[in-house]
Structure 1
Amino acid sequence: MRDDGEICLLTPIDGVPDESNLIVRAARLLKSYSSAPLGADISINKVLPMGGGLGGGSSNAATVLVALNHLWQCGLSVEQLCEIGLTLGADVPVFIFGHSAFAEGVGEKLQPANPQEKWYLVAHPGVHIPTPIIFSDAELIRNTPNVHY
């Protein structure tokens, strides 16, 4: 923590300015909910491919919101953090939620889920695909029937 109010990302990501980095954006957004003039030095060590569709940036934002809410003693509930997180990205709330969930809406309506444990293999072809491009595809079907388990 810092007492000068500054948010400093100690491990910047090449090609991603702080203004667009979800880590910094989440910290600055949460800061507006805190009455304390605190800041933070944030360091992250992650090995997920950017644009790989694994929610790396969203999980970073969620982690920052949860951690700084605690450190800055903002006192925000999980529901409030999810509302804030939704402004950063549709899948941020599921990472704040913290366990498996069924999501509806754009990802903000979460119901706990207890899926059977399975093994998955995730292959990354080395191609960066921005999430907005995927979800703006005209062939993406959005009217699938509800799944009940």
Structure 2
Amino acid sequence: MIGEQRYVPRWGQPLTGIFAGITFIVVSWVIWYIFSHPSGVFKLYENPFVVFTAWMTLIGAWQHILFQDWPFQNLSRANRLFAMIGVNLLATWLIIFVVFDKLLGSYMMPLFSVTTQAELLNLPEHAKWESLAGGSLTMIVVIGMLLTVSW
């Protein structure tokens, strides 16, 4: 029976932790090269693609792991999918454009605001997301992903 199986550590600590850390770093570098590196596969995509995808991934992980699909756990699978995607899109928009761009970026930290940086640096419209704001928003997602593991 599958329920009677025991998981036996292959190497024990600290070797398992070192191997997991090295594996995490290698996988992160590969993903970074594919999605974010200027000479990677997605080099023609602008930074908003990375920022939105990263925030949607973080919010989806929080919905499922931390909140255990609350308050949608009693819906059917298809309805739960659409409801959680809708909440995910709304939360991503609120976090990026309301919290970071309008509130934090306008009043205290221009590093998080694409609009404020474009005004301060006199950037043209097409270069807004190439500023530091996109990278800083993505870095907050990385921190959130690492903190999710410790919950």
Length-normalised TM-score, structure 2: 0.26
**What is the TM-score of this pair, normalised by structure 1?**
0.26
Larger Rg belongs to: 2
More strand as a share of residues:
1
Higher percent of residues as helix: 2
